[in-house]
A and B are shown apart, each in its own frame.
Chain A
Amino acid sequence: MEPTVAAFDRHALRATRSRRDGWRDTWRGYRTAARLGWRVEANWADPILFLTYSVAKPLAGALILVVMLEVVSGGGADEYRAFIVVGSALWSFVIAGLSGLAMSVLDDRERYRMLKYLYISPTSLAVLLLGRGTARFAMGGIGAAVTLAVGVLFLGVPFDPAVMDVPLLLASMALGLSGVIALGVVFAAVVLQTRQDSWSYPEAVAGALFLLVGAVFPLAVLPMPVQALGLVTPLTWWVAAVREALFPDAVSSIAGPGSLYTRLTGVTEPDRWVLLICLLATTVLVTLGAMLTFRVSERRAKDRGLIDQTTGT
């Protein structure tokens, strides 16, 4: 009997997929993707070059800001130095989180041309992309840790472990990193729709977010509508909470004279609970939005044949 299109039962395929897509299979798929991601990123590079590359980029970013500070303040403004170093150290997570998933889509679709095979594998595409992005995320973590260490050891950042708020640090890191991953998923959804030359897009978006979230300057210097945008971004609350946990005396990036937050609440510095609640609320919002965006993008990519399309220019 000649096979027909009708012989291909899409519902049966979906049922098979869901039966096999239990937690164990999902975990196995994630683990394999993460191991592959790490090998793609690290195993094929010279170890010294790889380490230099992982560290030099965020460190140079922090040094640019520290020199800018020195040029203007002439070595005064110690509290602002801690502000800048924490913000730029955390930013390497943001760049890694945004680019990790997006680059996995671009790499697997355009370079290795494997995305179509990954897509039809039993594990969900989002899980595989998360796994591939984990390696970059880990590299972002190394960059952040080294930047903070260099800041404390060589750039005169006044760090006192005795005043560190460990529970706040752990909670804000857990929530903040979830928010970064959610933004990464949104961005993976975007590059599923765009062309090969989108390699530079994740960094462009991270650069733009740099303006909105008070990473290296207090939000109060921005116009009010831009401050409002910043306040609905989880990254704003994450950076502020980590800063509060590590340097309780540092300048607040959210509140203060001229800030929208102070105008709305009358408070000059949000306490740790406000920081955590706002971080939780914005992270939940962004995560739900990310899931929806990815689902819509995946469906559109499937309908338009974008998953196996290479778009070399």
Chain B
Amino acid sequence: MTIFARPRTASPMEAARWSPRRQLATNLRSVFGRAYPRLIGLAREPSWTFFEVLLPFLTTSAFVFVYRALDAPAEYIGFVVLGGAMTAFWINVVWMMGAQLWWEKDAGNLELYFTTPIDLMSVLLGMALGGLVASCLRAGVVLLVGTVVYGVSFGVDQWVLLLAVFVLTLTALYGFGMVLASLFLLWGREAFHLAQLLQEPVYFLSGLNFPVARLGMLGALAISTLPLAVGLDAMRQLAFPGGVATYGTPSPEIEAALLVAMTCFFLLAARFMLRTIERMARHEGRLTTRGD
């Protein structure tokens, strides 16, 4: 037996035989390492501020003008502005997380992730945090400018609950994004089509520009499965309390509990699925092949 012979291990992390402290430190470094190119990329190519921050505001404005053309109550304009802000996070989840492992495979980086002694969730968390900066900026601009330009008035009484719902929505969304990342990787080239499919249809089912309760059973189904639908509805109820348009859905407290359940479910599902694809990648050696 030579010094190169090593016992079989379940993962590169196990093979590294690091202390828990070193594992944690390495994973934290991975989070930062994966967030870094996204953050630095923002500074290197300023065109994104125009295309990804200012133009989406104009898209949101189009829906505001639809309601204005219909002489809708001012509350609906607030709905559109809030919905427009939340799309930033959804797009980030679908494109910058869901489809990202697939892009990484295309770029030839995926096999490096599978062979390094880090948890794949650290890489995805790094992507999430890196992308979150741009998304927060975009959402903030839509919310702030929309509020000022279109005179939206919020009547928030429960700030703490609103903040909790927002954070829970983001964690559930990013957990969902991690699940999508594994699925998109398995579905290969169709990932691009699936990512497209998860935009307008999900906006419709989540009631992005109108109260989701108006969709009846479809809306109820969306509230029980889509973090965007339940989070958006809870935030609307808290931001525009007493509005007739929020009638017909569970209370914000119940929706917050739903979001907690979704967060746990999606994070556990993501962990299971990432482990599964990691195992598949090592055993079958196909997942990391470019052009599969």
Contact = CB atoms under 8 A, between A and B. Distances in A.
A-B complex is real: yes
Contacts of B68: 217, 221
A45 B197 CA distance: 13
Contacts of A61: 200, 204
Contacts of B59: 204, 207-208, 210-211
Contacts of A138: none
Interface residues of A, number: 48
B215 A200 contact: no
B89 to A, nearest CB: 14
Interface stretch (A22-30, A67-75, A118-126, A291-299): A67-75
Contacts of B67: 68, 72
B33 to A, nearest CB: 13
Interface in A65-97: 65, 67-73, 77, 80, 84
Given A45-B190, A67-B215, A217 B65 contact: yes
Contact of A57 (B56, B72, B197): B197
A305 interface: no
Main secondary structure on A side of the interface with B: helix
A63 interface: yes
A210 B194 CA distance: 24
A171 interface: no
B169 interface: no
Nearest to A73: B70
A146 to B, nearest CB: 13
Interface stretch (B45-53, B221-229, B271-279): B45-53
Given A194-B47, A200-B51, A313-B37, A207 B193 contact: no
B194 A211 contact: no
A25 B130 CA distance: 47
A231 B76 CA distance: 28
Nearest to B41: A313
Contact of A205 (B55, B71, B193): B55
Contacts of B209: 64, 68
Contacts of A211: 58-59, 61-62, 65
A65 B51 contact: no
Main secondary structure on B side of the interface with A: helix
A225 interface: no
Contacts of B52: 200-201, 204
Interface in A169-211: 194-195, 197-201, 204-205, 207-208, 210-211
Interface in B172-217: 189-190, 193-194, 196-197, 199-201, 203-204, 208-211, 214-215
A67 B211 CA distance: 10
Interface residues of B, number: 47
B208 A53 contact: no
B107 to A, nearest CB: 6
Interface string B55-99: 110110111011111111000100000000000000100010000
Contact of A56 (B51, B72, B200, B211): B200
A60 B58 contact: no
Contacts of B236: none
B204 A63 contact: yes
A267 interface: no
Contacts of A67: 204, 210, 214-215
A49 interface: yes
Contacts of B106: 111
Contacts of B76: 68, 71-72
B69 A217 contact: yes
A84 to B, nearest CB: 8
A53 B193 contact: yes
A200 B44 CA distance: 17
Nearest to A313: B41
B55 A218 contact: no
Contacts of A64: 200, 203-204, 208-210
A222 interface: yes
A302 to B, nearest CB: 20
A159 interface: no
A53 to B, nearest CB: 4
Nearest to A46: B190
B51 A201 contact: yes
Given A53-B197, A207-B58, A313-B37, 11 more contacts: A45-B189, A50-B193, A64-B204, A67-B204, A77-B70, A195-B41, A207-B56, A210-B58, A211-B58, A218-B69, A313-B38
19 contacts: A49-B190, A49-B197, A53-B194, A56-B201, A57-B197, A57-B199, A57-B201, A64-B209, A69-B66, A77-B70, A207-B55, A208-B55, A208-B58, A210-B58, A211-B59, A211-B61, A217-B65, A311-B45, A313-B37
Interface of A: 44-46, 49-50, 52-53, 56-58, 60-61, 63-65, 67-73, 77, 80, 84, 111, 194-195, 197-201, 204-205, 207-208, 210-211, 215-218, 221-222, 311-313
Q: 3 closest A-B pairs (Cβ-Cβ)?
A: A207-B59, A313-B41, A60-B200
Interface of B: 37-38, 41, 44-45, 47-48, 51-52, 55-56, 58-59, 61-63, 65-72, 76, 91, 95, 106-107, 189-190, 193-194, 196-197, 199-201, 203-204, 208-211, 214-215, 245
